Amino acid sequence: AQSVSQHNHHVILSEAASLELGCNYSYGGTVNLFWYVQYPGQHLQLLLKYFSGDPLVKGIKGFEAEFIKSKFSFNLRKPSVQWSDTAEYFCAVIPTGANNLFFGTGTRLTVIP
């Protein structure tokens, strides 16, 4: 079955530590990829997106993600996290031509001051 996997359910980091959250998908064709963030009590906001072109995409708040087609991956990175990055992070995929986004189960990030 087609799916989106986020391997880390809960990540705890100290401020200034580097972050990498994994995302893998199982669709065989062309895909469009997203990372959304949900701060406590708030709705989902777009962090970054990849449609085509440079596989390294930069988003808001210093986040970036790299699309590696051969590995079906779209991992999220940030060199130095802040306490305000505490949130839940969702990877999402929509195959080109499809109507729906498919979400991973999310990764909860806790940053300790």
The site for other proteins (CB under 8 A) is made up of 9, 32, 34, 36, 42-46, 49, 51, 90, 94, 99-101, 103-106
Write down the least CB distance from residue 37 to other proteins, Å: 11
Distance CA 12, CA 15 (A): 10
Distance CA 3, CA 1 (A): 6
Write down the least CB distance from residue 27 to other proteins, Å: 13
Residue 103 near residue 91, CB atoms below 8 Å: yes
Q: Which is nearer to other proteins, 19 or 48 (CB)?
A: 48
Q: What is the CA radius of gyration of the chain?
A: 13
Q: Which is nearer to other proteins, 2 or 14 (CB)?
A: 2
